Amino acid sequence: MINIIKDQEVLRFIAEESKRQIDELELIASENYVSPAVLAALATPLVNKYSEGYPGHRYYGGNHLIDEIENLAIERAKQLFQAEHVNIQPLSGSPANLAVYLALLQPGDTVLSLRLDHGGHLSHGHPVNISGRLFNFVHYEVDPQTGCLNMDQIRKIAKEVRPKLIIAGFSAYSREIDWAGFQDIASEVGAFTLADISHTAGLIAGGQLINPTPLFDVVTTTTHKTLRGPRGAIIMCQEKLAKKIDQAVFPGLQGGPHDNVTAAKAIALGEALEPSFKKYAHQVIVNAQFLAKKLQEKGYTIVSGGTDNHLMVIDLRPQQITGREAEIALEKAGLSVSRSTIPGDSRPPFNPSGLRLGTAAVTTRGFKEQEMEQIANWFDQALNKRDSKPALAEIKQQVSTLGRRLPPPQYNQIYATTAY
Ligand SMILES: Cc1ncc(COP(=O)(O)O)c(C=O)c1O
């Protein structure tokens, strides 16, 4: 398919990046490999269309087929998450969260969310993000002893600050979330609830984790992490909030939706409704738990002692390696990971004390426990031999042999015939 691109400068980089994605292993918890069908939908003439508004209510002509696609995506999301109302148009996770704030809050209102360095997200009120500049965010933390959320502590803060909105759902938290507990606290203090399931949506859709959608007022999710769709987001809410949410997305925050992405979202949601997706979601968690166990056996400290989902945060202080050093060494060995703060980190986010790993992408390639053990071995070797260029190059060679044996799905089917 990329053979159509004749611009050699751009083509070279696309081809090289495509090759990198085969040869290296993606352990970044927020990434995945979309199916060939999702990838193909993104490169269709739908990209040409303008469709400001909603199905049946557009500000441009020629949208009857786009309406059908958007309705299909909405119906599939409703079915998958048991949602009363779905807005499929948010361009990404951060603008989806901002749209929710615009819908439910006034500037200056108090919101309760998890601290960024304890596993929260920038768009949950960090001062460098627009959310933190417009609203009065107060943060809860994970328990320093257990690395887990302490619902009594969260209740205590909620009663003190009486937030208008409570956010649960995180970027770097590996344990099941007590959604009902959050909802109880919100009811006690009269707050709205927002579940940001960006990371775990695929595991929830695959029936492996508890679904907060029937409980919470609003749920946001990116579509490109465990859900394995195109880059973008979805907002789901109870019918009583539908109008406010829709108005906040358009015209409040965005202009025209990206219709090619809407089609790709519809396809990804359809894939997530297939029985095989349940198996995938299950294996993602089996793999994460197995990888965590193997790393623990090698002496690594996993925050909270393990994982219930697709990710884990590794505290590298005992190894006396910073997250940045580890990320760089692992990249040289062909393992893509992201540095991460650990709860209460004394180091800055650019060079924190930990790493975050996830298994959603490698599981899409068909990796199972055997490959997880191999990854744990390479991980340990790369960190131990981080000063040896030849040792890291040797690991990279072994990684790419496995990568070529189990490539991401789209490469087999779409790029296999290309020249590079
Ligand atoms: C919990 C959470 N919310 C929102 C986002 C933001 O998504 P995006 O990068 O699409 O803006 C992320 C992305 O990492 C996330 O982890």
Check whether residue 224 and residue 345 sit in a common domain. Answer: no
Check whether residue 265 and residue 298 sit in a common domain. Answer: no
pLDDT at 418: 47
CATH number, domain of 334, equals 3.90.1150.10
Tell me, in angstroms, the distance from the centre of ligand 1 to residue 299's CA: 31
Check whether residue 101 and residue 171 sit in a common domain. Answer: yes
For residue 278, the Cα-to-chain-centroid distance in whole angstroms is: 18
Question: Which pTM does this prediction carry?
Answer: 0.96
Asked if residue 105 is part of any domain, the answer here is yes
Q: Is 407 in the pocket of ligand 1 (CB under 6 A)?
A: no
- pLDDT tens-digit profile, the chain (420 residues): 677 899 999 999 998 999 999 999 999 999 999 999 999 999 999 999 999 999 999 999 999 999 999 999 999 999 999 999 999 999 999 999 999 999 999 999 999 999 999 999 999 999 999 999 999 999 999 999 999 999 999 999 999 999 999 999 999 999 999 999 999 999 999 999 999 999 999 999 999 999 999 999 999 999 999 999 999 999 999 999 999 999 999 999 999 999 999 999 999 999 999 999 999 999 999 999 999 999 999 999 999 999 999 999 999 999 999 999 999 999 999 999 999 999 999 999 899 999 999 999 999 999 999 999 999 999 999 999 999 999 999 999 999 999 999 999 876 555 544 443
pLDDT at 413: 54
Say how many domains are in the chain. 2
Q: Is 130 in the pocket of ligand 1 (CB under 6 A)?
A: no
pLDDT at 417: 43
Q: What sign results for the dihedral spanned by CA atoms 284, 341, 193, 224?
A: negative
Q: Which atom of ligand 1 is nearest to the CA of 95?
A: 11
The set of long-range contacts for 12-21, using a CB threshold of 8 Å and a minimum separation of 24, is: 15/418, 15/420, 16/420, 18/411, 18/415, 18/420, 19/420, 21/408, 21/411
pLDDT at 369: 98
Asked if residue 14 is part of any domain, the answer here is no
Check whether residue 89 and residue 136 sit in a common domain. Answer: yes
Query: CA 266 to CA 255: how far, in whole Å?
Result: 20
pLDDT at 349: 87
* Domain span including residue 352: 283-415
Asked if residue 391 is part of any domain, the answer here is yes
pLDDT at 104: 98
Tell me, in angstroms, the distance from the centre of ligand 1 to residue 369's CA: 28
pLDDT at 122: 96
The answer to whether 361 touches 404, Cβ cutoff 8 Å, is: no
The answer to whether 387 touches 366, Cβ cutoff 8 Å, is: no
Task: From 94, 122, 309, give the residue whose CB has the most ligand 1 atoms within 8 Å, as the site to mutate.
Answer: 94
CATH number, domain of 180, equals 3.40.640.10
Which of 216, 249, 273 is a domain's end point? 273
Tell me, in angstroms, the distance from the centre of ligand 1 to residue 230's CA: 13
Q: Is 304 in the pocket of ligand 1 (CB under 6 A)?
A: no
Asked if residue 189 is part of any domain, the answer here is yes
Peptide bond into 343 cis (omega under 30): no
352 to 315, 318, 344: CA distances (angstroms):
10, 14, 11
Check whether residue 45 and residue 163 sit in a common domain. Answer: yes
Q: What sign results for the dihedral spanned by CA atoms 18, 23, 29, 33?
A: positive
How many alpha carbons fall within 13 Å on the CB side of residue 43? Answer: 9
Tokens representing 138 are 């107060």
Which of 250, 273, 296 is a domain's end point? 273
Angle at 123 between CA 118 and CA 126, to 5 degrees: 60
